[in-house]
Structure 1
Amino acid sequence: MLSSFLKHIQTHFSFFEDAKLLIACSGGVDSVVLTYLLKELNYTIALAHCNFSLRGNESNEDAKFVESLAKKLNLPFHSETFDTKLFARKHKLSTQMAARELRYNWFNELLDTHAYTHVLTGHHADDDLETFFINLSRGTGLRGLTGIPVQNEGVVRPLLPYPRTAILEYAKKMEFFWREDSSNIKTDYLRNKLRLEVLPKFKEVSEKTLQNFQKTQQHLQGSQQLVEDYMALIYNLVVTEIPEGYSINVSKISELPNTNALLYELLNPFGFTSWNDIFSLLTAQTGKEVKSVSHRLLKNRNELLLTKIDENTGEKQFFIKKNEEIISNPIFLRFSPTEKIGNIENTTVFVDMEKLTYPLTLRKWQQGDVFQPFGMKGKKKLSKFFKDEKLSLVAKQNVWLLCSQDKIVWVVNHRLDERFKVTPKTKQLLKITSRE
């Protein structure tokens, strides 16, 4: 296996020669074999072990084993212990997702702190097959069937072409020691159930099941690349980047064949799952929306607006004390007493300080809000002002109001209120700007 692995590395990972590699070592046979192979080939490596505190003393023994392995091979060693269940409860994640987030956040810290160039994991061909069936059982598009990427975001998986049997055979031949994870024999998790009960029977159909799967996956990856190339053309045709996010032209995308498939490819990276609701937005009235955990898709006339969900939306108010010069949350504002009026722009206004009542408040606009636009004698509803300004629904929802008691001082970045303007009688001027 060593000579085969060397050819594999030289062909696909020639950059390892000058790299500083961090191996994610659980103590299992896969990561142990990966460690020995790279050590034997004289690459610059270090070991990192995560103790997720999920199996009591067994987890602690795994950590000790990896530490002893690092000492035996004279390798740098990093270890971290996590309270995974607490993290999962706090962030409302499954135990597996919590472990994944903790693991990769820590790996990224190690990359930054110790100048490692890549993180290496021991994923192999059987892991890839299991992932294929997991995604298939949950419902997925073409991308979900292309398997575990060989390399993405600094993570490299050199053992991906090798089956578990080959890795285990090599470990036994070389008389390596490794740790067995007792949780791997439990069928509580879908992956274990597939590994222990489903895939062995699937492999009985043909001795070349794994090889045939790898060929199929290569074809799927090629097809996915064609889709991505095509979607790059579609993106330029129907998507416009706007300050709030992205705008998808409904007319243009509706004229193209396979419209729903195009929407799926455009929006899948943003965590959406309610696809029928998304497809119906094409013919929905303005104001209809669909949300994912992180994003919102909003129908606005002849466009679909894709924006990040603003955690500061709602009834929340932010208070500003009299002597505060700068605030940075939820938006940036600078307050500077001055003696004269300078250039007035959308991002800068000058007000009569004596007309302000502190604390000032910063909030989102609400239906029924009115103000007196600078230069006008009468009041105007904000909704009418926004319509006259031709603001989109998303732009309106991103507007902040600087208020003094129940009066709007400034529709931030849009218009000052006439009641707070500077007059010849003004004694104290205050400059307010939203530019950093």
Structure 2
Amino acid sequence: MLPLQRFQDYIEQKQLFTNGNRILLAVSGGKDSVLMLHLFKAIGIDIGVAHCNFNLRADESQRDEHFVKTLAQSLNLPFYVTHFDTKKYAGENKISTQMAARVLRYNWFEEIRISHAYDFIALAHHQNDAVETVLINLVRGTGINGLHGILPKRDKLVRPLLFLNRGEINNLIDDNNIAFVEDSSNLSTNYTRNRLRIDVIPHLKAINPSLEETFNQNIKRFAEIEMFLRLQVNSIAREIISAKNDGVYIPLQKIKSLNPQKLLLFELLKPYNFIEHVVEEIINSLNKQSGIKFFSPSHQATIDRESLIISKIDFIKHQHKTIHLNDSEFELNDNYFKVTVSEDLKFEADKNKIFVDYKILQFPLILRHWQNGDKFIPMGMKGFKKISDFFIDEKVPLHLKVKTPILINGNGDVIWITGMRQDNRYKLTKATKKVAIFELKIK
């Protein structure tokens, strides 16, 4: 007999979904996913079956696909299948075959979920999978979030078999005479998870026969500790982090007073994808000169005079825009510009506008980011000044220096450090007949 009441109780307890939801089941053909399929069918939930053929096991992969398709048809369920060249994808993206399979299947599951109006994707992970995940995370190194194992629900993914362990699943398959297919790769110790399952966990179970239940309880405790830590970090973030147009600011003195410093700063910077050893480098550099930069895949952290400034990496340093004679508007990253030409020689004192003697412009103009060696004659001055020195004098944060567009004349002269200062050579004079007005509008 299937444990339908336990299954339904777990779904309700973890609030995985409601009776009115449509659920897409990821079914490989193995014991776990086939049992999950029969449980769902028995409680009358609206479901569909999705199967990935990774083409990694020759005839066995085709056998698995045929089995799952036949099973879905026998139960009168919608069936979706896809085929991947997994090894090619792994090679092109320089990742392991296992990681390639993971990326490919989750992306495809989500495509099917959206295109066929399913509410959630059900995966057949069980308690032993959670144990193995915690052990893998511990061996590789992990923060506290790696200790909660596999969550019952994350975004659109649900795992309704986490109330069962592998032994219980094996017994249910045997007792209910449920057909399945065996993946021969599960017996290979070439994979980390398999080595743990085959070589390590049996020794742990010899010490603690109730290993799965012990880990299940530990995982619950770790999840609660993680929740408590997240509440504390959110409270600290509200107190010390300031969001501004150009990034996120964290006062250096506040970072120095954090206790425990490394743990809390790591959690504060986690949304910006900074890894642990980079956080250590930031801490070790707090008392050094300003200007030191640190990078995550998505963000840049700059130690400025009084703050750690986090800004998104959303630009290319040498990106540029060509401005032609008849262009009336143009943009570079988040900076939008308008240009008008007039014979009305009026002038406004506005840092986001410049008024240029039109006759000395040489098209096409170039809008690009600051580069080492750039120099100009600031408005009101007679001699050249390096733009790098100008930035220092104006106390421009370092992370903004490389993001500030510079308007360049066709002859290579700097016309304008946008939003800051015009070059004195391009000001209006008594001889000016026509004026070009450049205006910066920040999106």
Q: Tell me if TM exceeds 0.5.
A: yes
The equivalent residue for 1:307 is: 311
The equivalent residue for 2:204 is: 202
**1:16-415 matches, cutoff 5 A:** 16-269=18-271, 270-274=273-277, 275-310=279-314, 312-313=316-317, 315-322=318-325, 330-331=333-334, 333-339=336-342, 346-347=351-352, 349=354, 351=356, 354-374=359-379, 376-405=381-410, 406-415=412-421
Cα distance, 1:102 vs structure 2 = 2.4
Q: Deviations for 1:224-267, whole angstroms, at most 9, x for unmatched residues?
A: 11111111121123222233432222212212321122112222
* SS at structure 1 position matched to 2:399: helix
Q: Partners in 1 of 2:186 and 2:129 — Cα distance?
A: 13
Cα distance, 1:431 vs structure 2 = 4.6
Cα–Cα, structure 1 residues 379 and 135, in superposed 2: closer, same or farther, change >3 Å?
A: same
Cα distance, 1:145 vs structure 2 = 0.9
Q: Deviations for 1:374-412, whole angstroms, at most 9, x for unmatched residues?
A: 455544322233234332111112222232342223323
Cα–Cα, structure 1 residues 360 and 237, in superposed 2: closer, same or farther, change >3 Å?
A: same
Q: Partners in 1 of 2:76 and 2:352 — Cα distance?
A: 59
The one-letter code sitting in structure 1 at the alignment partner of 2:414 is I
The one-letter code sitting in structure 2 at the alignment partner of 1:309 is I
| TM-score normalized by the length of structure 2 | 0.87
Conserved? CA contact 2:335–2:441, under 8 Å: yes
Cα distance, 1:23 vs structure 2 = 1.5
Cα distance, 1:189 vs structure 2 = 1.9
* SS at structure 2 position matched to 1:147: coil
147-156 or 328-337: bigger deviation: 328-337
Cα distance, 1:299 vs structure 2 = 1.7
Cα–Cα, structure 1 residues 134 and 311, in superposed 2: closer, same or farther, change >3 Å?
A: farther
Q: Deviations for 1:181-207, whole angstroms, at most 9, x for unmatched residues?
A: 222211122111111111111111122
Cα–Cα, structure 1 residues 181 and 386, in superposed 2: closer, same or farther, change >3 Å?
A: same
Cα distance, 1:40 vs structure 2 = 1.3
Q: Deviations for 1:118-173, whole angstroms, at most 9, x for unmatched residues?
A: 11111111110001000100111222111111111221111112111212222222
Q: Partners in 2 of 1:58 and 1:319 — Cα distance?
A: 57
Q: Partners in 2 of 1:387 and 1:234 — Cα distance?
A: 32
Cα–Cα, structure 1 residues 429 and 307, in superposed 2: closer, same or farther, change >3 Å?
A: closer
Conserved? CA contact 1:24–1:120, under 8 Å: yes
Cα distance, 1:305 vs structure 2 = 2.2
Conserved? CA contact 1:326–1:332, under 8 Å: no
Q: Partners in 1 of 2:58 and 2:329 — Cα distance?
A: 49
* SS at structure 1 position matched to 2:286: helix
Cα–Cα, structure 1 residues 323 and 70, in superposed 2: closer, same or farther, change >3 Å?
A: farther
Conserved? CA contact 1:84–1:95, under 8 Å: yes
Please list every run of 5 or more consecutive structure 2 residues that lacks an aligned counterpart in the other structure: none
Q: Partners in 2 of 1:354 and 1:98 — Cα distance?
A: 59
The one-letter code sitting in structure 2 at the alignment partner of 1:204 is A
220-229 or 130-139: bigger deviation: 220-229
Please list every run of 5 or more consecutive structure 1 residues that lacks an aligned counterpart in the other structure: none
* SS at structure 2 position matched to 1:177: coil
Cα distance, 1:77 vs structure 2 = 2.2
Cα–Cα, structure 1 residues 13 and 361, in superposed 2: closer, same or farther, change >3 Å?
A: same
323-332 or 401-410: bigger deviation: 323-332
Q: Which has the larger radius of gyration?
A: 2
* SS at structure 2 position matched to 1:16: coil
Q: Percent identity?
A: 36
Cα distance, 1:96 vs structure 2 = 2.6
Number of residues of Structure 1 aligned to a counterpart in Structure 2: 435
Q: Partners in 2 of 1:81 and 1:346 — Cα distance?
A: 58
Conserved? CA contact 2:368–2:407, under 8 Å: yes
| TM-score normalized by the length of structure 1 | 0.89
334-343 or 222-231: bigger deviation: 334-343
RMSD in angstroms over aligned alpha carbons? 2.8
Conserved? CA contact 1:371–1:379, under 8 Å: yes
39-48 or 60-69: bigger deviation: 60-69
Cα–Cα, structure 1 residues 153 and 429, in superposed 2: closer, same or farther, change >3 Å?
A: same
